[in-house]
Amino acid sequence: MVASPAPSVAPRLAADFTMQRSGFHLHARLELGAEILVLFGPSGSGKTTTLHAIAGLITPERGYILLDGRTLFRRDDASGPIAQRVPARRRNIGYVFQHYALFPHLTALENVAFALRGPTGRATAAAWLERMNLAHLADRYPHELSGGQQQRVAIARALAPAPRVLLLDEPFSALDAAARQRVQCELAALQREMQLVVIYVTHRLEDAFAVGDRLAVMRDGQLEQTGAIEDVFRYPATQQVAEIMGVPNLFRALVTEVGPEGTVLDWHGLRLNAPPHAFEVGRTVTAYIQPEDIKILYPDRPVMDAVQHNVVAGRIVESSLRPGMRQLRVCLTNGHEIEVRYPAYTYRPLNLQVGEEVRLSLRKEALVVISHAHEN
């Protein structure tokens, strides 16, 4: 889906709070409009704790949570009184838990109706089951439903009371690929139709790209970087973010020359040209290049201008076929391995088998240098 811009001056949901739990310190600062923000990071980074605080299931030490101008929580001093705390049931926030949390003794219809009040509750619940293509399963119990069906019941239950915010904690982790794709499409359509503020927790990058507008990367209780998903993936702000995102071909190099034409790096004996950066000579930086941006050179053809920079030699140590793509792992002359990926129909005249020597071009324009390298 097309990435939404960052929220305007008046975001729908704004939160800035801190928490301390058993030596773990969390500081979450988020601003969202009507969009899907993906909280991404490894287990234990604070993603679920952030959702629980916004939902009102736990109370932060200090900070604030605002929704459409309404204060859901405020405490200015961790040692002082809580100025405002709206109970979870009155926050108008829907929550889909990782394992769905459906009541096993209630049918699908009864599970959805449980979240509703008043005489029209069952009718509204039935309408939501119809919307989620589950009307024919209204009388079945959770154990009689597939994982994807249970997930859609859980989403229907969360949306039936017409919340302003929807929180999803690893919602598709137990689904197979086909069911995951169907539910993701339904979620994206519902968000657009209802103009919901959605926070979606996952540790799967594929899920983030499938449904998200923006990405917030968390590590050790801190938000490391927030932005459009493609921007964060292609231009991580730090080495830690790149590692969390699983960015391939990440390496450390020494800055040897700087100038208006570009930056020269020494990667353990390989001289690489990168775009201009304001680095000082002698600094160690982190750099990477996407596997698709590495070009394989034909030995019997002249090197074109577009690939004349950063020509390196290596030997293929691994070759694998993916849907529509061929992936190589090449050991370079400096002893480091690099991943190369290209459409399966290209380079057919070449003998790209394990053990063969190849020449590669690490395109200068595609070489990304991260300014904040992590020092050992």
Q: Are 53 and 59 in contact (CB under 8 A)?
A: yes
Work out the percent of the chain whose per-residue pLDDT is above 90: 60
Q: Which domains does the chain have, with CATH numbers?
A: 13-92+163-244 (3.40.50.300), 250-370 (2.40.50.100)
pLDDT for position 10: 61
pLDDT for position 8: 42
Q: Are 310 and 367 in contact (CB under 8 A)?
A: yes
Report the alpha-carbon angle 342-344-345, nearest 5.
110
Q: Taking residues 19-45, report their average pLDDT.
A: 92
Q: pTM of the entire structure?
A: 0.78
Q: Which two tokens stand for residue 226?
A: 């927030």
Q: Taking residues 323-333, report their average pLDDT.
A: 93
Q: Which of 141-145, 150-154, 223-227, 235-239 has the lowest mean pLDDT?
A: 235-239
Is residue 372's pLDDT more than 50? Answer: no
- Read off the pLDDT band of 371 (50, 70, 90): low
Long-range contacts of 209-213 (CB under 8 A, 24+ apart): 210/181, 210/184, 211/1, 211/36, 211/38, 211/184, 211/187, 212/36, 212/37, 212/38, 213/1, 213/3, 213/4, 213/35, 213/36, 213/37
The average confidence (pLDDT) of the chain is 89
Q: pLDDT tens across 251-296, in order?
A: 999 999 998 889 999 999 999 999 988 888 999 988 999 999 999 9
Q: Taking residues 169-196, report their average pLDDT.
A: 85
**Residue 331: strand pairing partners:** 315, 337
Is residue 208's pLDDT more than 70? Answer: yes
pLDDT for position 175: 76
pLDDT for position 254: 94
- Read off the pLDDT band of 64 (50, 70, 90): very high
Is residue 7's pLDDT more than 70? Answer: no
- Read off the pLDDT band of 4 (50, 70, 90): very low
C-alpha 2 chain-centroid distance: 15
pLDDT for position 207: 85
- Read off the pLDDT band of 210 (50, 70, 90): confident
pLDDT for position 332: 97
